[in-house]
Chains A and B, each alone.
Chain A
Amino acid sequence: MEELEAESLLTVEVAARNDDTLSVRLVGELDLSNVERLEAEVAPTLAQHPKRLVVEAGGLEFADSSAIALWLRWSREVDRFELRELSPLLRRVLTAMGLDGRMELGA
């Protein structure tokens, strides 16, 4: 029963940096249960049209296809979109989805 409403655990830190870069730090699991919350949290800052969006994904343990769809949409809204410190697990998911060439994957 509880699982119905339960959100997966995800902490989000949004920081707009001086150099016109929006940084989004994600820790936990990102999936359908919380992807809308993440989008809503980032939307106000994204509306100011930063040039660069960096997702700090070092603490991200899981991302489903709805998460990847969100990243793809974000990547359309900025000049440069970067996924940093993505775990090997998630890199493999991106490769399996043929998206490894579509996203800039930082170290």
Chain B
Amino acid sequence: MLARRARGRRSMFRLAAVTLLVGLIITALLTTVSHDVFLRNEHRLLRLRIRDAAALVTTAVPSVQTPLASVAELADATGGSKAKFRAFAAAYVGAHGEFASLSIWDLAHPSRRPVAFVGAPPQLATLPGLIPSFLQRVERSTTLGVIGLLNPSDSRLGYGYSTPGRGRYAAYAEAALPRNRYAPVQKGSPFAGMRYALYLAQAKPADLLATDVHSLPLSGEVTQRVPFGDSTFVVTMAAQASLAGVLPQELPWIILVGGVLLSLAAAAGAVRLIERRVSAESLAGELEVVAQENRQLYAEQRSIAQTLQHALLPEELPQTQVLQTAGRYVAGERSVDIGGDWYDVITLDQGSVLVVVGDVSGRGLRAATTMASLRFAIQAYAAEESRPEEILRKLSGLLSVTRHSQLATTLCARIDVEPRQVSVASAGHLPPLLLADGKAWFLEVPVGVPVGVDPRPDYSSVTVPVPAGATLLAFTDGLVERRKEQIDAGLERLRNTALRTELALPDLLSKLVADLTAGEAKDDIAIVGLRWKS
């Protein structure tokens, strides 16, 4: 049983571990998948946002190009009139304008100085090395020329424009970049919650135009190049928080934590289930041991009862020259107790014998002691009295149903040899069967009350002559009785079976018991047989 328990425990832990492992694997897969879905979704959303941002940057081109185109047209039309230029350009420069500096340059006489300017002096003028190539770009380009003047102390972005093909003058504007390139996204803007960086041409620190973070690059950034005039801006963006919302972001974590908890719960459930099974198995095992012990006790008790029973029954029956006798006692299937059935054959004078069969009601030691005292009393009475009815009458003084709660049915038959006859008296007992000349019949015996019912009952006997070779069988009701069946049916069964069976006396008794009980006696059976050899 210990081995079984250990086996159970091992299999218990194995199953729990497997359950936990499977649960964790499923959890990991789901977590990974949901995280992957989340990331892809975030990336997709971020792409959409950066496309919006790029569109926004693109729309800025006309807002820069339009005033410059107007300035260039005006300068061409007025032959580079400084006064006209200043009057027109003032609105675009300064605190309310979008430019820090606006100027016109003569493309026909390229010099290092502008024709005129409003606002701050153009920084381009301080960088003579850049001027010719930039003006050349502007003159050739049909669109806005863009140049980064990324002087750390005063960074500006320069835009140049000349009327394509025929312009003599170029309009040039400079917009100040935010201090330290730092420009936070305004609250309420469609891009609130986003991190960004804007570069000119290349996504490298030297080209940085503006950002809302203090350290670059952004983590998880996406990049989009945006054509701007004859140049290109590079926008990078990252989301500050999940773009899809809190739930999709937390979902992998929820799945992870929930999955781990569920796996643990499932493993614990498996352990509990197996524990219950193991304890049920061990209980069944213990019950089996108890049942085994009970069976053994039962067998022991039964064998003790049978030993005692046989001690109380005659060890050997008397045999005479003329009379053969045999007896059988069979304990009922259910009896662990000693029973109250008995038989006896007592030698009388002149070759006669007294055959007795009786059945004390109840079971156990009390029934057995009553049986023994009745049996020995009959032996004593038989020494001085051979009339069966008298023996039964005397016997009735020994037992009282009122005092002992017991009664005993008893059959007493005196067997004579010369003449060959039988005298039978019955105290409530079933009649004996006589077999002779191929016939079998029950003797019609006057039945008196069982011993114990009446202290001074009247019994009478019947005397029947018997043919040579006849057999007399006396028995207790266990041989013929079946519940829910008329007793006469059982008697008839015995008669028919006996009639069919021609065997030596001891074998006849064994055969009758075996046939009538189908090998399984419910009740105790006592049977005694007697055969006249001549």
Counting CB contacts under 8 A, is B140 at the interface? Answer: no
Q: What residues of A have a CB within 8 angstroms of the CB of B294 in the complex?
A: 1
Q: Are A66 and B362 in contact (CB under 8 A)?
A: yes
Known A89-B484, A89-B485; contact A69-B334, beta-carbon cutoff 8 A? no
Q: Are A62 and B484 in contact (CB under 8 A)?
A: yes
Counting CB contacts under 8 A, is B298 at the interface? Answer: yes
Counting CB contacts under 8 A, is A43 at the interface? Answer: no
Counting CB contacts under 8 A, is A14 at the interface? Answer: no
Q: Are B401 and A61 in contact (CB under 8 A)?
A: no
Q: What residues of A have a CB within 8 angstroms of the CB of B449 in the complex?
A: 97-99, 102
B contacts with A, residue count (CB < 8 A) = 34
Counting CB contacts under 8 A, is A93 at the interface? Answer: yes
CB contacts under 8 Å to A, within B411-466, are 426-430, 447-450, 452-453
A contacts with B, residue count (CB < 8 A) = 26
Q: What residues of A have a CB within 8 angstroms of the CB of B363 in the complex?
A: 32
* Stretch touching chain A among B125-133, B312-320, B402-410: B402-410
- CA A103 – CA B449 in complex, angstroms? 11
- With beta carbons under 8 angstroms apart, the residue of A4, A89, A102 that contacts B453 is A102
Q: Are B405 and A73 in contact (CB under 8 A)?
A: yes
Q: Are A97 and B362 in contact (CB under 8 A)?
A: no
Q: Are A98 and B401 in contact (CB under 8 A)?
A: no
Q: Are B450 and A99 in contact (CB under 8 A)?
A: yes
Known A62-B483, A92-B488, A98-B448; contact A69-B406, beta-carbon cutoff 8 A? yes
Counting CB contacts under 8 A, is A12 at the interface? Answer: no
B461 to chain A, nearest CB (A): 13
- CA A98 – CA B431 in complex, angstroms? 12
Q: Are B448 and A61 in contact (CB under 8 A)?
A: no
- With beta carbons under 8 angstroms apart, the residue of A32, A65, A98 that contacts B426 is A98
Q: What residues of A have a CB within 8 angstroms of the CB of B291 in the complex?
A: 1
B432 to chain A, nearest CB (A): 13
Hey, which bits of chain A sit against chain B, CB under 8 A? 1, 3-4, 29, 32, 61-62, 64-66, 68-70, 72-73, 76, 88-89, 92-93, 95-99, 102
Given A89-B484, A102-B449, 16 other A-B residues pairs in contact with their CB atoms under 8 A: A4-B336, A62-B483, A64-B361, A65-B361, A65-B362, A68-B407, A69-B361, A69-B401, A69-B407, A72-B407, A88-B486, A89-B486, A89-B487, A92-B488, A97-B447, A98-B449
